[in-house]
């Protein structure tokens, strides 16, 4: 993605820390499993930003994540994840899928529907981190629902 930025001049580059697929999270340190290691995510995003800057780009790096993964599902862990990745990794925009990811026991389709949605967690992040940008993801299927969440 970073090398292609030269060719395509992307508006942003996203690190997906929310994918629960075993083909992604089950093959090393990719996808939702990254939520367990906020320091690693901060190192990755900082390296991405530095690489972009060295090429003369100011392209922002964003992170998509869940509200939790496996046993790492407390608000304190999520808060620490956001704090670490923003302060040490330079990320100012997070896309939050308002469901927990289960890396074992649910397939990717079930991970998009079985864990309950908890929009209040995202609203709390918005209140706790007023200098960061958050996009809400998960379960929104109509324009009326979009309008509801924007209010």
Of 17, 19, 29, 65, which one is the catalytic site residue? 19
Contacts 24+ apart (CB under 8 A), 26-34: 26/103, 32/65, 32/66, 32/69, 32/101, 32/103, 33/69, 33/103, 34/65
Continuous segment of H or E residues that includes residue 95 = strand 93-101
Residue 29 annotated in active site: no
Q: What is the set of active-site residues? A: 19
């Amino acid at each position: 993605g970073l090398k292609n930025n030269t060719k395509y001049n992307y508006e942003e580059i996203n690190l997906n820390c929310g994918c629960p697929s075993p083909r992604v999270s089950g093959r090393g340190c990719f996808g939702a499993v990254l939520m367990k290691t906020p320091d690693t995510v901060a190192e990755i995003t900082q390296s991405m930003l530095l690489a972009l800057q060295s090429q003369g780009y100011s392209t922002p790096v964003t992170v998509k994540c869940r509200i939790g993964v496996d046993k790492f599902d407390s608000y304190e862990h999520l808060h620490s994840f956001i704090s670490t990745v923003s302060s040490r990794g330079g990320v100012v925009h997070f896309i939050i899928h308002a469901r927990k990811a289960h890396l074992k026991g649910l397939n990717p389709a079930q991970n998009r529907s079985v864990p309950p949605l908890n929009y209040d967690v995202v609203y709390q992040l918005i209140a706790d981190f007023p200098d960061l940008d958050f996009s809400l993801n998960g379960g929104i299927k109509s324009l009326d629902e979009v309008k509801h969440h924007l209010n």
